[in-house]
Amino acid sequence: MTDLRTATLRLGTRASQLALTQSQLVADALSSSSGVPVELVHVSTYGDRSTEAIAQLGGTGVFVSALRDALHAGTVDLAVHSFKDLPTAPTPGLTVAAVPAREDPRDVLVARDGLTLGELPPGARIGTGAPRRMAQLRALGLGLEIVPIRGNVDTRMGKVASGELDAVVLARAGLARIGRLSAVTETLDPIQVLPAPAQGALAVECRSDDTRVRELLAALDDPAARACVAAERAVLAALEAGCSAPVAAHAELTEAEDGSAELWLRASVTAIDGSDSVRDSVSGPAAEAESLGRRLAAELLDRDAAALMAASR
């Protein structure tokens, strides 16, 4: 008879190189902390099968729903998501039981000839699939041509190697996890290009009533990462925007004068053509992460963020 305390856990994952790498990191950490074996179960999602642009797919949830269906069906015990892919609304019956330590959330440039963003000539072709990046790159006023692209990391960087594009913009976290940081020609300052909410963070999800898995995953949870992501996603939720909207948010934890954890949060909404944007920041106790996010979203809405998002749609 199988001992449920040591039974192998089935971890649902997308089959891309990055997803498999991220899932294996979680599997190894979970096995190390608990002694319980973990096996990866490949799950194909609609976002993986489609060649449409993210914005045309509807954005939020296209890489997530099949994994959640597998959790509900009991064919997997937990699933690993790139947190920025998750819809902001809670899903009945499921819970994010762990937010592991976060990678650097910034965007990076991978360009021909080792060029930086400022060194690319006017008319240079830069590829990205994210409306947020498109909007912010256009807002810089550098005269660059922004080209929508899809595909995995190698496919995107291959367009630079072939000469089809002069550069691509990617998440630094993904390249770090698959050991490809040597290809980066510039890490973009958030003053120029603010990251997506929850970029660089992983969400490990399980069934809410699975006490065993929830308890095992608690060892992987990083309170600092969870607080920052909660604040960033609260901005997104309050703006009623999905992960394909031109919304950016970045939270950092610092130490207040009294030694408590203070959270500093920045966010922006940019017109897709780069013609206008609103950006603001707030700070406060880390324990109030979600309320800080909602407060910042309200300030952005007071400055016509809704109109910018509507125009982008």
Residues annotated catalytic, as ranges: 85
- On the CB side of 168, CA atoms within 13 Å amount to 27
HEC states along 33-50?
HHCCCEEEEECCCHHHHC
Which residues are bridge partners to 204 per DSSP?
80, 98
Residue 108's closest CA among 198, 182, 163, 161? 182
